[in-house]
Structure 1
Amino acid sequence: MVSLVENVLARYAEVVDEGYISEGSPRFKSYAVSNLRGGVGKSTMAFNLAYEISRNNSLLVADLCPQCNLTETILRNATPKVTIAKALTPRMLGPAFGDKPEDISYRVSSYIEDFKGGKSCFAIPGDPELFAFPSNMYQQLQVALSRGEPKAVNTLLSSLRSIMNEEAKDKKCDILLMDTSPFYAGGTHLAWCAAEALIIPVRVDEHSIESLNLTLDMLSNPKKDFQMWNTRAGGLTSPKVAAIVMTMAGSKSRLSSTPGKASQMYIERAVNIAEKYKRLFVDEDVSKAFVVTDDFVSSGQISGAESIPISQLKVGRFHTVSEGKRLQVNQSVTRYQKQLRYLASIL
């Protein structure tokens, strides 16, 4: 009998060797890229998924991380006047803080040439003010809870979803994508309430494996904060897990279609954790949700620093990134391009 891990590794080989693409259109309208750990490549993945998805579907992407890495990449050299915080604050704190701005998103192709030629893609910028947002948010939630008003709790927790849906309707966007911070409170909490499905990047290291378990437990455990607030809101639904993306997996060689032993060990542990929480997944066979991606540190650095989707990087070309460091795009980028296309296709 073929194991779940063998299924994951077989699909990895198929993607690398043949450029396998899953058939079908996006299964959900809204996704959040999320993991309760930093440094796993969330913003790089969100940027590249925005490009891949927008080739076939109109897209609205929002930056819910106060570090604003996605905003710096996707709205290159822009100084946006309107941010997600300016849209959320009136909804969360009331009319005394003004009205939600009418137009809160920017057409990405106006800032990045590569986004032309596909469907329309709009971005709602992030805001460093989101660092302070959780205290205000939970204060308002506690007030609503103390008054015995589950409808008010529901309205507060659904504020981001309402904002995203209104903007998507205005800009005629089919799909919503949210980048989140590595901290659950505030914007990430609201993104989990707004998203129908999650994309969870998991680096092949010990801390990321622990974080995967923490994230899935938080999503499902009725005694943890997320589910407790869902209950207090009258029964909000939880997002499904659409994909677990194992990032920075090392292959035996550039030509190999098999990850190295260390990467395989972490993949196996991640699959075992997923199996424990299989009720959260879109498919009962959790192996279908796994996407293994290679160690694309250099390509990811170039992609983020130069605002170039990985699919548009050219083998052999040099790029200058932070502090004058020069990096060359090597042949391995063709593997990453196949893996990203496959990831976008299973959503």
Structure 2
Amino acid sequence: MNVDKIVARQAAYYANDAQDWANSAHSVLFPRMTELLDLELPKHNRYAVCNLRGGIGKSTLTFNLAYDAGDVLAVDTCPQANSTSFFTQGSPANGTTIYDALLPYLLPRMSFPSGIAQKVEGHNSYFDGKGAYFVPSSPNLYEFPSIMESALSQARGIPGESDRAITQILNSMRDLLDRECRKTDTRKVLIDTSPFFSGATHLSWHAVDSLIVPVRTDQQSVDSLKLLLELLQNKNRSFLRAQQGLDLHEPKVQMVVLTHCGWSTRAGAQYEPNNQTKVYLKKVKQVITDNIDCFTTDDPDNHIVPLDDFLGTGRIASAKQIPIKCLSPQQSFTIGGQRVTVNDSVTKCQRQLSFISQNIWA
């Protein structure tokens, strides 16, 4: 499985200018840097960041893409509330949660809350002037799948109205986003999802245009990517089974972001993946090739973006609730009683985040 184009693209967006690229060994195989940096992906306005596994960077990626996007509504549907904590800089989130906002769609006698989305800059000063909003999570989301399944079961039993009732439930997140985007005058949406599919993640898939899937460089993450793709296309699994016979939106995958990548330290191999990263680049490309109908284009190389040193820089950004774009090399922080320093690779992460942003938003 050839990953030369993916590696060359990495080198292209690391290059400071055209001359840097011209001096790169990759320019021999791929002479035009501008063509490499345009993935020719269809651009959308609404994305869910998801993978059916925890600890792979979903919340950190959501937080940083939201900062880069600016004009965005970020929704935290994971009961662990990590991205909520990032947006509030670790303070408790007051006000209406996504659980509160969705419950009236499932329990019709409940009234719909008002003033759901909150301005991020009111909680996190790094977002001043960004025009970004967020809807906080709730630990009650652990109970949401059973409530949703009960509501769907009741809807199926309504004579002559079951299709309409089921559609209303499954489109509840989409309806909520429509209302909140109008109120906040935002057009971009990012949803941070939980490691389990049932409940709010299910509703998020119907609500967004496309998916962004972080995958760590380990076999368990690759296996969870396979499971996600099976859910998207297997009519016997819960996502398609629940909407059988209904005209509901089914998202495709825009991008797989391979996190925690490492690169060779061998002299003259500045942009060469180390052996572990190369193994997982090939594994992920094979999975995408085998399931290309689940993606927004028919070229697997379009959909893989390696993210450098997300563990180090991302850990600092997450612990201090600071967007990666706001970190500088050699900046020092105390985390857990230890002094840590931002290394020079933060500039690579910043360029990678810019590259992701320029290839997703309409």
Please classify the TM superposition score into its range, dividing by the shorter chain length.
over 0.9
Matched, 1:158 2:190: no
Matched, 1:41 2:57: yes
Partner residue, 1:109: 121
Q: Which of 2, 11, 14 lines up with 1:13 in the alignment?
A: 11
Matched, 1:93 2:107: yes
Amino acid across the alignment from 2:7: L
Amino acid across the alignment from 2:261: A
Provide the C-alpha distance between the structure 2 equivalents of 1:220 and 1:23, rounded to a whole number of angstroms. 24
Partner residue, 1:145: 156
Residues 146 and 325 of structure 1: CA distance in aligned 2, closer, same or farther (over 3 Å):
farther
The Cα of 1:279 is off from its aligned counterpart by: 1.3
Q: Which of 208, 215, 234 lines up with 1:195 in the alignment?
A: 208
Partner residue, 2:21: none
Provide the C-alpha distance between the structure 2 equivalents of 1:49 and 1:25, rounded to a whole number of angstroms. 17
Partner residue, 1:246: 258
Q: Report the TM-score when normalising by structure 2.
A: 0.89
The Cα of 1:25 is off from its aligned counterpart by: 10
Provide the C-alpha distance between the structure 1 equivalents of 2:105 and 2:129, rounded to a whole number of angstroms. 35
Partner residue, 2:69: 53
The Cα of 1:78 is off from its aligned counterpart by: 4.3
Partner residue, 1:132: 143
Question: For structure 2, which runs of at least 5 residues remain unmatched after alignment?
Answer: 18-33
Partner residue, 1:183: 196
Deviations 1:221-258 (A, max 9, x none): 111110111225x1312111111000001111397212
Q: Report the TM-score when normalising by structure 1.
A: 0.92
Partner SS, residue 293 of structure 2: helix
Partner residue, 1:260: 274
Partner SS, residue 292 of structure 1: strand
Partner SS, residue 304 of structure 1: helix
Partner SS, residue 231 of structure 1: coil
Max Rg structure? 2
Residues 94 and 325 of structure 1: CA distance in aligned 2, closer, same or farther (over 3 Å):
farther
Deviations 1:195-216 (A, max 9, x none): 1100000001010011111111
Partner SS, residue 181 of structure 1: coil
The Cα of 1:81 is off from its aligned counterpart by: 2.0
* Farther off after superposition, 171-180 or 78-87: 78-87
The Cα of 1:43 is off from its aligned counterpart by: 0.3
The Cα of 1:306 is off from its aligned counterpart by: 1.3
Partner residue, 2:98: 84
Aligned length: 337
RMSD, matched Cα: 1.9
In 1, are the aligned partners of 2:84 and 2:93 still within 8 Å (CA)? no
Partner SS, residue 9 of structure 2: helix
Partner residue, 1:62: 75
Residues 183 and 263 of structure 1: CA distance in aligned 2, closer, same or farther (over 3 Å):
same
Residues 22 and 312 of structure 1: CA distance in aligned 2, closer, same or farther (over 3 Å):
farther
